[in-house]
A and B are shown apart, each in its own frame.
Chain A
Amino acid sequence: MIGQGMRAYFDHCATTPVAEEVLAAMTAAFREDFGNPSSVHAFGQAARRRLEDARRRVAEVLGVGPAEIVFTSGGTEADNLAVLGVVRSDPRPRKHVVTTSIEHPAVLESCAQLEREGVAVSRVPPDSRGVVDPEAIRRALRPETALITVMHVNNELGTVQPIAQIARLAREAGVLLHSDGVQAAGKIPLNLAELGVDLYSLSAHKIYGPKGAGALYVRADVAVGRILFGGHHERDRRPGTENVPGAVGLAAALELACRDLPAESARLGALRDRLEEAAAARLAPLRVNGAGAPRVPHVSNLCFEGVDGEALLIALDLAGFAVSGGAACSSGAAEPSHVLTAIGLSREQARASLRFSLGRLNTPEQVERLIEVLEQSVARLRTRAAASRHV
């Protein structure tokens, strides 16, 4: 068996380990100020101070005001709150939402729920690189459009969507814009006020923070109805006793990610380029999904033509390399990714694709070993696939 220490983690888009600095900040919050921020007494006040300090720091990193930050249980809740909260509180009888066909399920399923409630939904497809055309968004708008929701960075391809342009056209049209920034925050330079979005989702665990902590930015004059009931927390927008250590962890993780961003982007971009160059040279026929699009530096989605991606993923794991397939159903089995089929890949090609997402844990040596193991595994799978076709 391969020891945990010899394993290499190439799945940083799925989640990340909590950074020491984050853990230290959270531990202090757990230990020192356990009070309920809503309590009147000194314990409550101390916890409240920590919570509001975290809020201030998150807002500062994002270039917005503290009152515009709503802490949530994570990215999924932030997306649900944005989509359901905005559209349901729009008073018009007929309503419409514009989104894309490559969103995270947290947005897609929220839109599907609105559809069941009688709201019309347009899903704009991306181009073959995995980028949505702002003009296509504009064309999808209707007089009754209540919300545009477009992710900032696609979680499978790493492609960056033209949010600033979409924000301009949304403003011109007088339509609110939400963006799921779970894969963008801490990975690309960010100033939400400049970006021009009205709502923006964040998650802590993608950036070396804790699971179960996230936030939704809601521009000051935007009304968001509640989706949870039971209290007046978070300015009446999100009931439930605040997860103070989680908020502290999110703030610490966000600050850390932004501090390290220039250096880490350059380092991971070089590793990613090395992986893609070696793969193209040694694993042909190979396709880089999302190639030619603006991409975050740490994600590579590769299609190994003629290979069963599920088998390759397992072979890599048995050899000690953790990567990810497109999507997983509830049992954990792979399903053809809706993102890869949306950019025009066949079911076969989608099944032959794997996502490699790099992060702090990765070294150049790991990338070299990964390339070697990939070369062996892909060759073996292609040989066997060819042999079984001829039987």
Chain B
Amino acid sequence: MSERVRVAVAMSGGVDSSTAAALLVEQGLDVVGLTMQLWNQRRLPELSPPRTAGRCCSLEDVYDARRVAERLGIPYYVVNFEDRFEQQVVRPFIREYLEGRTPIPCTLCNSHLKFDVLLELARSLGAEAVATGHYARIRPDPVSGRRLLLRASQPSRDQSYFLFGLSQEQLAHALFPLGGLSKEEVRAAARRLGLPVAEKADSQEICFVPGGDYAAFIEAYFREQGLPSPAVPGAIVSSDGRLLGEHSGVHRFTVGQRRGLGVAAGAPLYVLATDPAGGRVIVGRDHELLRDRLTADRVNWIALEAPAGPLRAQVKIRHKHEAAAATLYPGEDPSVVEVRFDEPQRAVTPGQAAVFYDGEVVLGGGWIR
């Protein structure tokens, strides 16, 4: 048996995870490639034509991952986590939308799949860690002895927002080989190493939702399960309660959304909130979207065990949000935190994450109520 350190790489068939695998091979590690089969693409066939690349677990992506593994000369396996993914990611994703929130399935997948069952599988195969193509960095803090999660070196690629849920144990067995690189450097490395996916386009959408039409996905899933359609029409009302129009299901709306309201008004209208119980979508002007505070629950602290009192931080409320200065007020239970922003923020969206930063260090994060 080999004496080299073994690591598993979660390979999606994209350029990032492929390059992560290649760099680890170059470093002389004993690399095993693993692709998670998460969603059966034969399900919900009405959603899109089959064989669309860039979708989760499409045969093309598995084929690409396999070709990369062949090129690198590493063992490669596809592992079936479909049941787990449906329970831990797909169903919560649907439930969140139906309850008027806007979920982030990638974070659930990181916490419950990649750094849970996949890590467990990797460890049982003798691997020390699971590596992924995420742009983020991990560094031990000599003072606290904790594992710190840091933003990527290139801020525009940073994916630390999606990783705030990782525990110390998970971070101890995670590797992000791309954290110090720019996208251009990753592509250059992929070309230099002769990876067949060096020029492959990045995937953008939620992997199991073809074309990004999450509402159609939810409706198709309900049909598949033999459940009554969630597309229940209801009222679109203004923040002061005036009836402005009709909508075809609250799950089709998210806070801050402007398109698809079908309501004519003098100035642009935005979704302020959805009220699933009342079947209402509440809309208003842009300035009505501003909030100066939010409550985050199920907070996972990374850089510290738990804060002793209020804490200054920069808080990011969605992936594309520029972290804004705020003060964190932990409750009795440190897993509930009130965030008070210095300046009001636009479209604080329940279901998204609030991730707390101190510069490039992730202090922790939670879910917006």
Chain A contacts to B: CB under 8 angstroms? 1, 308, 310-311, 314-315, 317-319, 329-335, 380-381, 384, 388
| Residue from B2, B35, B40, B124 within 8 A of A311 (CB atoms) | B124
B75–A331 touching, CB < 8 Å: no
| Residue from B75, B80, B124, B125 within 8 A of A333 (CB atoms) | B80
| Residue from B57, B123, B125 within 8 A of A331 (CB atoms) | B57
Q: Which residue of A lies closest to B35 (CB)?
A: A331
Given A1-B2, A318-B32: A331 and B121 interface contact (C-beta under 8 Å): no
A318–B75 touching, CB < 8 Å: yes
A329 to B35, CA, bound (A): 13
Quick check: is B120 within 8 A (CB to CB) of the other chain? Answer: yes
- CB contacts (< 8 Å) of A330 on chain B: these are 59
B37–A314 touching, CB < 8 Å: no
A333 to B84, CA, bound (A): 14
B32–A332 touching, CB < 8 Å: no
Given A318-B75, A331-B59: A311 and B125 interface contact (C-beta under 8 Å): yes
Quick check: is B77 within 8 A (CB to CB) of the other chain? Answer: yes
- CB contacts (< 8 Å) of A380 on chain B: these are 124
Quick check: is B79 within 8 A (CB to CB) of the other chain? Answer: yes
Q: Which residue of A lies closest to B77 (CB)?
A: A314
B125–A318 touching, CB < 8 Å: yes
- CB contacts (< 8 Å) of A315 on chain B: these are 124-126
Chain B contacts to A: CB under 8 angstroms? 1-2, 32, 35, 37, 40, 57, 59, 62, 66, 73, 75, 77-80, 82, 120-121, 123-126
Known: A311-B121, A318-B75, A329-B80. 6 other contacts (CB 8 A): A308-B124, A314-B79, A331-B35, A331-B62, A332-B77, A333-B82
| Residue from B40, B80, B126 within 8 A of A310 (CB atoms) | B80
B78–A332 touching, CB < 8 Å: yes
- CB contacts (< 8 Å) of B66 on chain A: these are 332
A318 to B37, CA, bound (A): 20
Count of A-B residue pairs with CB < 8 Å: 53
Can you list 22 A-B pairs with a CB-CB distance of less than 8 A? A308-B124, A310-B79, A311-B124, A311-B125, A314-B125, A318-B126, A329-B40, A329-B80, A331-B37, A331-B57, A331-B78, A332-B66, A332-B78, A333-B37, A333-B78, A333-B79, A333-B80, A333-B82, A380-B124, A381-B124, A384-B120, A384-B123
A331 to B78, CA, bound (A): 7
Q: How far is the CB of B207 from chain A (nearest CB, A)?
A: 14
- CB contacts (< 8 Å) of B2 on chain A: these are 1
Listed from nearest, the 6 A-B pairs whose CB atoms lie closest are A333-B37, A333-B80, A333-B78, A332-B78, A331-B62, A384-B124
Q: Which residue of B lies closest to A314 (CB)?
A: B77
A314 to B124, CA, bound (A): 10
- B contacts with A: majority SS: mixed
Q: How far is the CB of B103 from chain A (nearest CB, A)?
A: 25
- CB contacts (< 8 Å) of A333 on chain B: these are 37, 78-80, 82
- CB contacts (< 8 Å) of A332 on chain B: these are 62, 66, 77-78
Q: Which residue of B lies closest to A313 (CB)?
A: B77
A140 to B120, CA, bound (A): 46
A52 to B200, CA, bound (A): 51
Q: Which of A315, A330, A332 has the most CB of B within 10 A?
A: A332
Q: Which residue of B lies closest to A320 (CB)?
A: B1
- CB contacts (< 8 Å) of B123 on chain A: these are 384
A329 to B39, CA, bound (A): 12
Q: How far is the CB of B350 from chain A (nearest CB, A)?
A: 30
Q: Which of B2, B57, B75, B125 has the most CB of A within 10 A?
A: B125
- CB contacts (< 8 Å) of B40 on chain A: these are 329
A381 to B126, CA, bound (A): 10
A318 to B75, CA, bound (A): 8
B80–A388 touching, CB < 8 Å: no
A308–B121 touching, CB < 8 Å: yes
- CB contacts (< 8 Å) of B120 on chain A: these are 384, 388
- CB contacts (< 8 Å) of B121 on chain A: these are 308, 310-311, 314
Q: How far is the CB of A388 from chain B (nearest CB, A)?
A: 6
- CB contacts (< 8 Å) of B80 on chain A: these are 310, 329, 333-335
- CB contacts (< 8 Å) of A1 on chain B: these are 2, 73
A315 to B121, CA, bound (A): 10
Q: How far is the CB of B125 from chain A (nearest CB, A)?
A: 6
A331 to B1, CA, bound (A): 29
- CB contacts (< 8 Å) of A335 on chain B: these are 80
- CB contacts (< 8 Å) of A318 on chain B: these are 32, 75, 125-126
Q: Which residue of A lies closest to B124 (CB)?
A: A384
A331 to B64, CA, bound (A): 11
- CB contacts (< 8 Å) of B59 on chain A: these are 330-331
A230 to B57, CA, bound (A): 37
A318 to B32, CA, bound (A): 9
- CB contacts (< 8 Å) of A311 on chain B: these are 121, 124-125
- CB contacts (< 8 Å) of B125 on chain A: these are 311, 314-315, 318
Q: Which of A329, A331, A335 has the most CB of B within 10 A?
A: A331
- CB contacts (< 8 Å) of A381 on chain B: these are 124
- CB contacts (< 8 Å) of B37 on chain A: these are 329, 331, 333
A52 to B30, CA, bound (A): 53
A314 to B8, CA, bound (A): 12
